[in-house]
Amino acid sequence: MSGKRRRLVVEGGERIVDFDNKAFKPIPQAGIDLAVEAMQAGVMYRYQPKTKDASITAKLEKAFADYMGVKHAVGTNSCGSAMFIALNIVDVQPGDKILTNAFTFHAVPSVIEHARAEPVLVESNREWAMDPEDLDRKAAETGAKVLLLSYMRGHVPDMDAVMEVVAKHNLVLIEDCAHAYETNWNGQRLGTFGEIACFSTQSSKGLSAGEGGLFITDNDEYAAKAVLYAGSYERLWKKHFDLDADMMNMLQNQIPGYSMRMQEVTAAMLTPQIARLAEIKKVHVANWNLLHALIADHPNIEIPSALPQVDSFCDTMQFHLVGLSREEADRFIEVARMEGLPMQIFGVDRNARDFRQWEYVEAHKDELGATIANIEFACDLSLQPHLTQANIRTIGQVLHEVLAYINGEA
């Protein structure tokens, strides 16, 4: 940045950020209208409509399955519920070891604990994706048979290497795609590599409805069980698309129902959003690329490059603060927030994405040195799609100015 430095708020100046970079996407008017119609009719329970063709949830499931290019989707009340159902479907038993990311949101190990299984935490690389070499080592050491792979903040590991490990150890792969809408590896969509994939529709996600989840699979039996685990009973499964009637009749009453269904108002809010995902991605990618160009050369910022096979959604940016002390890094976050640019560092302040804070997880946490190093000074910046290129330039300016202040530069 050239020219005289603007006075920051901490020096008595005025902040220049007049927008909220974390503001969540509004529901499209078509979704609002559909939700209001369902509420006014008093038809909010997904099985109230008389047929699947009248069910907003069933039609959303069909649309999302078609969008993902898979046979089945099942709506749930959260991504965590979808993952819990997935673990039950692949017959995870209490005490089983489940391979998963050391760097992820605490909902992932919480799901494993919910199933009374034991998380085996796998190291991350500098770009925050799972390390396939550590995955191979942990799979061999533990004998675990399930991999719950999280694409935390949209960071994608070497999927060719991961799938080699999956094949080598005969692992069942369940993909946590909460942060991986419209994300591809060599042109293949994430969510289509494993036996099952689970998506979140919480407010900050690509599809946004406050809460909710989507379970997808190509396996007919898994889909049938997911419908029943989610809470279908008697013969309500007839209000889903593309289920095998003989299989449903066979499984009925064998599978417990956990009351984890999606409801009609949630499905209504989501229905028009699938079509806008590709356009939102274009905004995200353009904004991410611009911000990268503005800040990547700063000596205190390191933005690791994704592998060339990755095509990301780019709705957030993460970067490492380098050359700063703990106190300086914490002060950076504080001053940026005062300037109107809220961020967090993954490895401090009881962050739910710091595995050292998961006191309910029994793991050799002191051995995960790579992940500790990769989160200790890692900043997390939300870039929601309402941001303009002018907003992005302001973000870049603020980041430069705050770092100049932290470094004591005039």
Last residue of a domain, one of 206, 237, 272: 272
Q: Could you say which of 255, 272, 289 is where a domain stops?
A: 272
In a domain, 217, yes or no: yes
Per-residue pLDDT for 210 more than 90? yes
Classify residue 107: in a domain, yes or no. yes
In this predicted structure, what is the pLDDT of residue 5? 78
Model pLDDT, residue 96:
98
The mean pLDDT value for 79-102 works out to 98
Q: Are residues 352 and 382 in the same domain?
A: yes
Residue numbers of the domain that contains 359: 9-25+277-406
Which among 223, 250, 272 is the end of a domain?
Answer: 272
Burial of 404 (0-12, 13-18, 19+ CB in 10 A): middle
- Residue 390 predicted with pLDDT over 60: yes
The CA distances from residue 71 to 45, 68, 180, 194, 244, in Å, are: 24, 9, 19, 14, 12
pLDDT over threshold 80, residue 164: yes
Question: Per the domain annotation, does 240 fall within a domain?
Answer: yes
Cα separation of 56 and 239, whole Å? Answer: 11
Q: Please state whether beta strands 310-311 and 172-176 pair in parallel, antiparallel, or not at all (unpaired).
A: unpaired
Specify whether 281 is located in the same domain as 159. Answer: no
Place of tokens 């993902």: 68
Can you give the pLDDT at residue 256? 97
Let me know whether 226 and 339 are in one domain.
no
**95: number of CA atoms within 13 Å, CB side?**
0
SS3 368: coil
One domain, residues 115 and 175: yes
13 contacts 7 by C-beta, under 8 angstroms: yes
pLDDT(388) > 50: yes
CATH value at residue 109: 3.40.640.10
| In-domain check, residue 4 | no
Count: domains in the chain: 2
Residue 230, domain member (yes or no): yes
Give yes or no for residue 88 having a pLDDT over 80: yes
Please report the DSSP string for 219-252 in residue order.
-HHHHHHHHHHHT--TTGGGGSSS--HHHHHHHT
Q: Are 234 and 87 part of one and the same domain?
A: yes
CA–CA gap between residue 114 and residue 126 (Å, rounded)? 30
Shared-domain flag, residues 351 and 233: no
Q: How confident is the model at residue 3 (pLDDT cuts 50, 70, 90)?
A: low
Dihedral angle sign, alpha carbons of residues 48, 274, 71, 116: negative
214-260 residue pLDDT tens: 999 999 999 999 999 999 999 999 999 999 999 999 999 999 999 99
Could you tell me if 371 and 317 are in contact, meaning their C-beta atoms sit under 8 angstroms apart? no
Spatial separation of the C-alpha atoms in residues 150 and 102, rounded to whole Å: 10
Query: Is the domain of 58 the same as that of 100?
Result: yes
Q: pLDDT tens for residues 337-368?
A: 999 999 999 999 789 999 999 999 987 777 89
Mean local confidence (pLDDT), 157-162: 98
Residues 290, 190 within the same domain? no
Whether pLDDT at 110 is above 90:
yes
Give alpha helix (H) positions in 339-388.
Answer: 369-375
* pLDDT at site 72: 98
CA distance 28 to 401: 36
Look at strands 196-200 and 172-176 and give their pairing: parallel
Per cent of the chain over pLDDT 70 is 99
Is 1 among the domain residues?
A: no
C-alpha angle with apex 46: 209 to 105, nearest 5 degrees? 40
Percent of the chain with pLDDT over 90: 96
Domain membership flag for residue 345: yes
Same-domain pairing of 235 and 210: yes
Mean predicted lDDT score pLDDT of the chain? 96
pLDDT at 1: 46
User: Is there a domain that residue 3 lies in?
Assistant: no
Does one domain contain both 391 and 248?
A: no
Q: Is 22 exposed, middle or buried (0-12, 13-18, 19+ CB in 10 A)?
A: middle
Amino acid present at 130: M
Mark whether 254 and 313 lie in a shared domain.
no
Same domain, 227 and 301: no
CATH code of 330's domain: 3.90.1150.10
